[in-house]
């Protein structure tokens, strides 16, 4: 084959490859992104609670004489239903 023809074919293949690559890149870059594994939903600031100390029986007894009388009364027995965890 003539040298010039060979060179033209080489240039043609190179240009076609580059064009195909650029075209593919453009298509994928603008395609819809796959859905994330876990959908992140940022809750609105107004509904995000902060954590606060919650009074236990010990703290109630320390902070209130009424609680002290109630929980330290020998007649007080804790409810039979128990949140005991597993």
CB under 8 A: which stretch of 2-10, 16-24, 25-33, 66-74 binds other proteins? 66-74
Report which of 13, 34, 16 is spatially closest to residue 24, judged by C-alpha positions: 16
CB 71 within 8 A of CB 61: yes
Binding mask 16-55 for other proteins (x = CB under 8 A): ---------------------xxxxx-x---xxxxxxxxx
Question: Under a CB-based contact definition with an 8 Å cutoff, are residues 67 and 60 in contact?
Answer: yes
Q: What residue ranges bind other proteins (CB under 8 A)? A: 37-41, 43, 47-60, 63-67, 69-71, 78-86
């Amino acid at each position: 084959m003539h040298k010039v023809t060979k060179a033209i074919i080489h240039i043609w293949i190179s240009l076609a490859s580059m064009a195909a690559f650029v075209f593919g890149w453009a298509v994928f870059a603008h395609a819809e992104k796959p859905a994330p594994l876990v959908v992140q939903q940022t809750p609105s600031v107004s509904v995000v609670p902060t954590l606060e100390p919650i009074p236990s029986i010990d703290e109630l007894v320390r902070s209130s004489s009424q609680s002290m009388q109630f929980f330290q009364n020998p007649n007080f027995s804790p409810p039979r239903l128990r949140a005991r965890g597993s």
